[in-house]
Amino acid sequence: MIGLADCNNFFVSCERSINPALDGKPVVVLSNNDGCVVARSNESKRLGVKMGQPAFEIRDMIEKHRIIALSGNHLLYRDISLRVHDIFRRFVPSALDYSVDESFLDVNGIPVDVLPEIGEAIYNACWKEMRIPVTIGFAPTKTLAKIATEVSKKGGQRLGIIYDEADAVKIYDNIPIYDLWGVGRRLTKMLYQNGVYTIGQFAARDVEWVKKKMGVTGERSWRELHCQPCIELNHVERLLQDSISESRTFPEDVTDYDYIRARIVIYTSDCARKLRAMNGECRSVGVFLRGNPFRNTEPVLRPERVVRLSSPCNDTITLTEVALDILDNIFIEGAAFKRAGVWLGDIQKCVLRPGSLFETEVDAKTEKKQLMNKFMKTIDKINNVVGYKNIGLASQLVKGHQGHNDGYSSSFQAPSRKK
């Protein structure tokens, strides 16, 4: 069996977690670039607010029903996400983070009759410690765990378990095909044209038909519906996420600027590499530092800032420049930090306009972007062959005097501040 823990209405729940006055009220969170709805509370869902709907379309509804529209605080969401994922890990041998608010739980070897207890314990811990409601599903495959979670959430349950195929088949006919994990708009259209409207109809098709129409991805989904596990997370992780982040807790409090600077370079490089791997580019960069929450001498330090880029970007050099700029702005001389992180947000599919044949003057910016793109692709290719830590920015090198190993080597003297 495999489990899935999924936070309900995550961004809204995060806002409620720090502001209980929002409880029970219709709330939406809007994206910061175009003001589209990216999260809805159950109350807003009931009023008919759609996911992705632009704010101007629901202006009347917002007024009439006093919907509270918030602009996203993504560093807060990231912070809560890390802590919620840590909670998941306390109850299972290991967990694979799938997105900011979802984790697959490895429950291999755990007796099936203990699973409800584990689910209940995870729910209680997330609610009591973070005020984040989660839904948990267990099933023989990842796809079925997704279904178990979705069905429970819709039915207002905290926990759903699909034990075997006979169990699964019972609910298939009630689930529209577009709710199947990995089936996007394009595939839905194709399946509709072929008379497949529900997961039940899809599962009833011949596997050869599925293979021919949808290739290996479709076949994997089909097999998973028939309780044959075959989806690995590396099959899906290249899907476009809306944000990526990387952060670490230091084993000791750190006051050294150069050390933190080198970490920020490393985290940014890592995020940028992932961003390129999913063929995306981002429009926002955030950096955050955290003081030690267990030092009760002062309110916990949490300097952070998000900067919006003038144009979408995925190259390590530009993103690092921006991140270090932010660091210089938020770093507090003499303060001790326990954690640092980088966040890339407002991710979209990479669009690289090829220079048109008819353009008499080549846009210098486009040309630079194309060159940078080639350069980054080359570096990624080399690093993919020899291990991604081999080629990086010189600015990530710092004397390893804090004596801790977070999996990145750093063995040279760093350039000193602002050089």
Which chain residues interact with Mg ion by CB under 5 A?
6-7, 101
Closest distance of CB 418 from Mg ion, Å: 42
Residue among 144 and 262 whose Cβ is closer to Mg ion: 144
Ramachandran angles phi, psi of 190, nearest 5°: -60, -45
Give the whole-angstrom CA distance, residue 398 versus residue 257.
11
Query: Minimum Å distance from CB 6 to Mg ion?
Result: 4
Tracing tokens 């992932």 back to the chain, one arrives at 274
Residue whose pair of structure tokens reads 């209405």 in the numeric block? 9
Token reading at 378:
């080359």
Q: Least distance in Å: CB of 53 to Mg ion? A: 18
Shortest Å, Cβ 318 to Mg ion: 31
CB of 10 to Mg ion, least distance (A): 5
Using DSSP bridges, classify how beta strands 37-40 and 102-106 pair: parallel, antiparallel or unpaired: unpaired
What single-letter DSSP state applies at residue 198? Answer: B
Contact 226, 203 (CB under 8 A): yes
Nearer to Mg ion, 5 or 265 (CB): 5
Are 10 and 98 a contacting pair, CB within 8 Å?
Answer: no
206-220 in b/e burial notation, b at 16+ Cβ within 10 A? eeeebeeebeeebbb
Q: For tokens 């006093």, what's the residue?
A: 66
Q: Which is nearer to Mg ion, 5 or 340 (CB)?
A: 5
- Give which of 63, 71, 62, 21 is closest to 44, Cα–Cα: 62
CB 261 within 8 A of CB 414: yes
Q: Residue 131 carries which side chain, given as an amino acid letter?
A: R
Question: Closest separation between CB of residue 114 and Mg ion, Å?
Answer: 24
The three-state secondary structure class of 404 is: coil
DSSP assignment of 81-98 equals: HHHHHHHHHHHSSEEEEE
**Considering beta carbons, is residue 8 or 373 the nearer one to Mg ion?**
8
Specify the residue for token string 């809204």.
12
Q: Which residue reads 């890390």 in tokens?
A: 82
Smallest gap from Cβ 230 to Mg ion, in A, equals 24
| CB-nearer residue toward Mg ion: 7 or 306 | 7
CB of 321 to Mg ion, least distance (A): 34
